[in-house]
Amino acid sequence: MVVSQSNSTPIVSSLLTTTPGKTNSGKESQTSWLLRFFESKHFDMSIAISYLFNTKESGVKTYLCNRLFTFPSEDVDFYLPQLLNIYIYCCNENNEQLMADMLNAYFRTRCSCRTTGIDFSLRCSWLLDAHINDNAKLANASKETRIKRGLNNAIKLYKLIISEKLRPEPQNEINNSNSNNLNNFKKVDSNEHTIQNSKNSNNVLIINSFVKEESSIDMENYSKNDSSVENSSANLLELAKPNGELKKTCEHNTNLVENINLNGSETSLNKAQNTNSSNQANKIHNLSYHYSMHNSVSSNGTNGKKFKPTHHRARSDTTGITNNFTNNRANSITNIKLAIGDLMSGRAFDNNCSCFDGQYNHLIISSIQHNEDNKTTYDKESSSTTSASSSSSTTSETENKENELFKSSVMETPSSLSSNSPNKNIPTISLNNTPYTNSQINDCSCNALRLAPELEFTKALVAIGKKLVRLASKELKNQRLMSELAIINMNLPARVWLPLYDFPHHIVRIPYRSAAVLNSKEKAPYIMYVEVLECDNTHTTPLPPKLLENNLNKLARSQESLALNCDSQSNLIDSNLLSQVGQYSPKSTKSLNPEILLNQPNQINTSNKLTNENFSDCWSINSDSGLHSAPIYRSYKNSFNLNSDNISIDSYMSDYRNDTNGNGNFTFITASEIRRRLEEEDSKSIKSGLNGGRDPDDPSMNALREPWSEKQARIRESSPYGHYPNWRLLPVIIKSGDDLRQELMAFQFLQKLQEIWNQEHVPVYVRPSKILVLSKDSGMIEPILNAVSLHQIKKHQASKRIQNASLLDYFLQEFGQSKTCEDFLTAQKNFVESCAGYSIACYLLQVKDRHNGNILLDDQGHLIHIDYGFMLSSSPKNLGFESSAFKMTYEFVEVMGGVQNDMFAYFKILMLKGFLAARKHMDKLVPIIEIMQLGSQLPCFQKGGAGIVRSLRDRFHLNLTEEQLQIQIDNMITTSINSLTTRMYDNFQYYTNDIH
Amino acid sequence: MSSTSSETKIVEQTATAGCSTTVSGRQQMEPNTDYRVVVFGAAGVGKSSLVLRFVRGTFKDSYIPTIEDTYRQVISSNKLVFTLQITDTTGSHQFPAMQRLNIQKGHAFILVYSITSRQSLEELKAIYKDIVETKGINNGQKTVPIMLVGNKCDESSNRDVQTALAARLAQEWGCEHMETSAKTNVNVKEAFQELLKLDPKNCTLFSDTKQNDKSLSQSSLVKNSVNPKKSKESNENRKKKCSIM
């Protein structure tokens, strides 16, 4: 205990207290001025990173490394690529070993951070992976010890992260030992207790890990109440609330249950332990445990809300056992093995960690509760049937399940009928905001792999891209993409997320039919959309339950269940609705269409060679616990559907929840609803008028053209998760085969420029799209929504045979008929502001390959440049086209109203002001590029060497006065407009690549 | 009168249309539901100072010519909470198109002059004329709330514009007048409050969010062709619903 306590002392504090003193005393005379600067309020991360890079003083370096701890982690994270580059390529001299160690300490501390550690670890590991692959050849060939040493550092850190050894110190350890001194004497007590328990069980395990110890400490919370049955059961309930390590509490809950012996469940428990690895027995154990819990709940007179977690208590009890450390019943559950990475398992992204599981019912309750006021009675009943049916334990599992389904659906009828009462609206209001604020469990105690799920998820996405490359036609690629994504979708929801987006969320579903392969000659990047549920914390908020695609699948799956459904519901639904079932069943067979593979769950089952006939097994989060919990979810859904039917008969609430039923369940739609939808369709077709018909050669066009808000509404309507108030749709482009680090650098540069312009109040516009590097040749890109490329605009204009169509015509067509109307003027202003922003950025970075396919126009008139594959020293085939400062065609000027117009004058002013602001903060911009040049293989650094950064600095024109700069910029604009090479390059692209 | 009412209606339409698109997307779009106040005035009269004093409560002596700046502030007025969007315009550059756009978009205007410069008051007359022309005034009834603000009232020793003179002009224009100082924080908040009180529509402007048929027909001009798949789907949808009927 003492040892682990000393381990837990934060590294941060020790470093901070020791080393600054060292620098102060040692080099005070030399660094005092610098130190004053470093300690002033002007000192920030951007200055720190450039000093860290430039300084030769090792004392300064160590000081700066320490200061890293004091900056907000977001600030440091922005410079993570630079920091890693410094770590790998700057710390190679012998006298800089200290700095390497300090940086290493920083990385390690951040990686094992409790809250942001996982994200930081992932980002680090991806970038390191890219570096390592980059330089593996180089290091071997050059035999330079410098590079080798740096690379060794990188590999060491990478392995450390990947092996998941960097974890937060167990929290309770600290908390308990520091704050709960009063209860110290209890610890001995509880320790003994645990040992006794483990002795009681079949395998005698020595408590050797502090996880176990910790759990024993945890136990003190309730061990004092051990004597009285009522109290302890009440405590069990409290533990369902965010209290600490759920996993442990589960374990001990059962221990307590054993001791307390509520309903003679001990016999069945013992039985469960004795029959090794028997699924059946395990279930009995679970259920009887569950039953006893249930009883304790009802004896306490608690309502159903409190009861619900006990389901999950039971579930986590089963899953938690599978973890690879000390557990009394580990041998009984060998059938749930870790299936990470196995996409066919349905749990490819499940690390079997159940520490945060127990509460997701809160989530369900909170988001669908408005029609579940009376659900509690039903729940209790259904659970009692569950335990009743399982205690008989003679029926096979599937039968059991069918039984449950039947029973619950019968049972739910009265509740759903009664829930038609007016009070159903009351909870909705209170719960629509943040449904679950109670997730204080912030520590995983089961030692499950923290990074693996996300790593596997991204790996799976990248792998798709690599598979697609081999396929010949776009059609084939697209079909394959959909089926591959469908397989991934099987494994969702899971604790995975898109690291591109800052807010915490869980991915619950991939609407794979909306994904599309993008245009590319050699590679196969694709865009997909991901349904997520926003949450408080990605890593600790309980996951939502798996919801089936729709009840349609269920109907198609077995005629039996169809009959069952009809039967159970027939007392509620009149024959009119029943006829609808008949109407929809042909449709369900239609969806068996082989065109989309894996559409039907049956197919998945057969392809997976899963012998289990029960389809929800492979779809539920956890196949074993699914037996237990899936019927309950399903019946939720059933009753919930029925509820909304009732609502719709009385008064139609236009709500997403009802829309999800439109997929084929019994829905009653009123005339007003139809009118509303028809109107929607009309407005949709109006808005989507931009690009004409469907283009079979270009599937991505169809995906990208649909306005975002409509796509979102459409997918939400068809999603089983759409009813959650925290539902969101996120777009992402997955690229494999391309190194995105150069894009990342450009993104950083643009982001910094944007920051500077905001700070300096210059109204120029840039829209950096976020980049995530996953490896040397893969990554994610944030798509720009509601934007089309100039190429597409031109192509469309050409296809409509509009003679001499210009961008101005497009503006007039899109944003209003006259040049004086508000919409047009706004779009024009947006165009000018974005044009200025990107002109400056493109000039500074010397971005090339500026053909119209790489320039987008969004629905507000903003011009957005994408694809920074050629910049600084590189250009396409280095032909020397595009010699002008930036791309400025006559068309652009025309949109601005011509050279004489004051909007053009506004453009010039913006260029000047924007340039001045960038120049003022040049020291924040140059290091982003400069540091990345170290040891870099990026194409933009291939030619020119040290000259690259020098000419970048030159482009800021530090030697010019403001007036001179104005003249310079005017000149640049004029020459760009008249540039022959720009026009030549557009023509070149037109003739060679058919880019208009 | 008829022309004025149609003018405000259009504003409302665009507001609702914008709202429907922005609700879903996380991407930051300019919400059109804001109440937009535009600040005009000659160069160096203290427009930015006034706005910054109001928005941030700060004041700086240094002079940096503004190009254009927009601030957003959540305001509660008339028991109603809404977002105030204040556009600080340039006084040093002449961008008639930008000015026209700002007038079109603005719901209320603050015309700033410096009490130390008669010239700055004169320059406002042209801007006022533009506002009147763009927004339209019939029968002497103004549709747009305008506030005439004499800034730098702390420098009364250098006074070039008598209070009475500006007040008379304000009366002539049918707008309110006030003297402020961004430097010493005199009347700044009051000026904005008065301006918001001037608008009788403040209460109604934000609550009314009904879809207007007119907007549909207007946007149908953009309509070109329909995505065949989508139309097919929609047909299916229609069929489905019909069958239920």
The 10 Å CB-count burial string (b at 16+, else e) for A149-168 is bbbebbbebbebbbebebbb
Query: Nearest residue of A to residue B95 by CA position?
Result: A902
CA–CA dist B164, A819 (Å, integer): 41
- What single string gives the DSSP state of each residue in B65-128? --S-EEEEEEEEETTEEEEEEEEE--SSS--HHHHHHHHHH-SEEEEEEETT-HHHHHHHHHHH
CA B233 to chain centre: 42
* pLDDT at site A443: 65
Tell me if B224 and A689 make a contact (CB, 8 A cut-off): yes
Long-range contact set of residues A296-302: C-beta below 8 Å, sequence gap at least 24: A296/A233, A296/A236, A296/A237, A296/A262, A297/A233, A297/A237, A298/A380, A299/A230, A299/A233, A300/A230, A300/A233, A300/A234, A300/A237, A302/A237
Listed residue (B106, B22, B35, B19) closest to B75, CA to CA: B35
Per residue in A823-869, pLDDT tens? 898 999 999 999 999 999 999 999 988 888 889 999 999 999 998 98
B178 three-class SS: strand
**What is the DSSP code string of A62-76?**
HHHHHHHTTS-HHHH
**Other C-beta atoms lying within 10 Å of the C-beta of residue B11:** 17
Alpha-carbon span A172 to A380, nearest angstrom: 34
Average pLDDT over residues A633-660: 35
Suggest the residue from A674, A770, A812 to mutate for an interface test with chain B (most B CBs closer than 10 A): A674
CB contact under 8 A, B229 and A702: yes
Query: Up-side HSE of residue A500: CA atoms within 13 Å toward CB?
Result: 26
Q: How far is A904 from chain B (nearest CA, A)?
A: 9
B-interface mutation test, from A718, A793, A809, A825, most B Cβ less than 10 A away = A825
8 Å CB contact between A599 and A593 = yes
- Choosing among A478, A531, A587, A681, which should be mutated to test the B contact, i.e. which has the most B CBs within 10 A? A681
Question: Which residue of B13, B60, B244 is the best one to mutate when testing the A interface, meaning the one whose CB has the most A CBs within 10 A?
Answer: B244
Instruction: For chain A, give the percent of residues with pLDDT over 90.
Output: 17
* B211 C-beta neighbours (distance < 10 Å), count: 14
| Nearest Cα residue to A383 out of A249, A319, A289, A301 | A289
Contact A902 B98 (CB under 8 A): yes
Report the distance separating Cα A667 and Cα A669, nearest Å. Answer: 6
| A881 closest CA partner among A746, A992, A793 | A992
pLDDT for residue A952 is more than 80: yes
pLDDT tens-digit series, residues A518-554: 877 778 889 999 999 988 887 777 788 777 765 434 4
- Output the CA–CA distances (angstroms, integers) from residue B215 to A155, B13, B31, in the order listed: 61, 7, 18
B230 CB neighbours in chain A (<8 A) are 684-685, 688
Considering only residues A937 and A665, tell me which one the structure prediction assigns the higher pLDDT: A937
Please, which residues bridge with residue B11 across strands?
none
> What number of other Cβ atoms are within 10 A of residue A377's Cβ?
15
pLDDT at residue A686, as a whole number: 39
Q: Which domains does chain A have, with CATH numbers?
A: 2-162 (no CATH), 357-438+545-669 (no CATH), 452-544+689-733 (no CATH), 786-993 (1.10.1070.11)
- The pLDDT tens digits for B74-110 are 877 666 777 889 999 988 887 888 888 899 888 899 9
The tokens for A219 are 């136990």
For chain A, state the CA radius of gyration: 31
- With bands split at pLDDT 50, 70 and 90, how would you rate the model's confidence at B117? very high
Mark yes or no for CB contact B237/A683 under 8 Å: no
Position A338 pLDDT exceeds 60: yes
Task: Report the CATH fold assignment for B2-22+29-207.
Answer: Rossmann fold (3.40.50)
Please identify which residue in the block is written with the tokens 């609808």: A580
Do the Cβ atoms of A373 and A427 come closer than 8 Å?
A: yes
Nearest to B222 among A689, A708, A763 (CB): A689
Query: Which residue from B24, B97, B243 is facing A583, i.e. has the nearest CB?
Result: B243
Structure tokens at A840: 């400056």
Report whether pLDDT(A907) > 90: yes
Strand-pair category, A863-865 with A855-858: antiparallel
A314, A316, A319, A322 alpha-carbon torsion, rounded to 10°? -110
Query: What torsion do the CA atoms of A496, A497, A499, A504 make, to the nearest 10 degrees?
Result: -120
- Which token pair is B102? 């700002």
Mark residue A168 as left, alpha or beta (left: phi above 0; alpha: psi -120 to 50; beta: remaining).
beta
Residues of chain A in contact with residue B24, where contact means CB-CB under 8 angstroms, are 708-709, 712-713
Select from A822, A831, A966 the residue whose CB has the most chain B CBs within 10 Å, as the one to mutate to test that interface: A822
| pLDDT at residue A298, rounded to an integer | 37
A709 closest CB neighbour out of B21, B96, B101: B21
For residue B151 the two structure tokens come to 């800034």
> Is the bond into A493 cis (omega within 30 degrees of 0)?
yes
CB contact under 8 A, B219 and A668: no
- Residue of A668, A671, A686 lying closest to B222 (CB–CB): A686
H or E stretch including A788?
strand A787-789
Write out chain B residues lying below 8 Å of A823, CB-based: 14
Q: Average pLDDT in the A791-819 region?
A: 83
SS3 of A832-864: the string is: HHHHHHHHHHHHHHCCCCCCHHHEEEECCCCEE
Contact A902 B244 (CB under 8 A): no
What is the predicted pLDDT for the residue at B169? 92
The overall average pLDDT reported for chain A is 65
Distance from CA of A689 to the nearest CA of B (A): 5
Name residues whose C-beta falls within 8 Å of residue A437's C-beta, 6 or more positions apart in sequence.
A536
Q: Which residues contact A757 (CB under 8 A, 6 or more apart)?
A: A763, A764, A766, A837, A914, A917, A918
For B42, the 3-state DSSP assignment is coil
Instruction: Decide: helix, strand or coil at residue A781.
Output: strand
B148's enclosing H/E stretch is strand B146-151
* pLDDT (tens digit per residue) in A688-721: 434 334 444 566 666 677 888 889 999 998 888 8
Q: Do B228 and A694 count as a contact with CB atoms less than 8 A apart?
A: yes
Position A367 confidence tier, pLDDT thresholds 50, 70, 90: very low
Q: What is the pLDDT of residue B38?
A: 94
**Is the model's pLDDT at A255 over the cut of 70?**
no
Q: How many CB pairs under 8 A join A and B?
A: 126
d(CA A650, CA A874): 67
- The tens digit of pLDDT for each residue in A402-448 reads 444 333 333 333 333 333 333 333 333 333 333 443 445 556 667 77
CB A456 within 8 A of CB A376: no
The Cα–Cα gap between A713 and B230 comes to 14
Cross-chain residue pair B20–A709, CB shorter than 8 Å: yes
Query: Residues of A with CB below 8 A from B100's CB?
Result: 820, 825
**Contact between residue A698 and residue A519 where contact means Cβ atoms under 8 Å apart:** yes
Using only C-alpha atoms, chain B has a radius of gyration, in whole angstroms, of 22
| pLDDT > 70 fraction of chain A, expressed in percent and rounded | 52
- Distance from the B118 Cα atom to the nearest Cα atom in chain A, whole angstroms: 27
**Helix, strand, coil in percent for chain A, rounding step 5:** 65, 5, 30
pLDDT of residue A675: 55
CB < 8 Å to B97, chain A: 825, 828, 897, 901-903, 906
Contact A555, A565 (CB under 8 A): yes
- pLDDT category of residue A900 using cuts at 50, 70 and 90: confident
Contacts of B242 in chain A (CB under 8 A): 674
CA–CA distance, A445 with B75 (Å, rounded to integer): 47
Nearest to A553 by CA among A563, A542, A561: A561
pLDDT at A697: 54
Query: A708: which chain B residues are within 8 Å (Cβ-Cβ)?
Result: 24-25, 27
- Run of H or E including B147: strand B146-151
Asked whether the beta carbons of residue A669 and residue B241 sit closer than 8 angstroms, the reply is yes
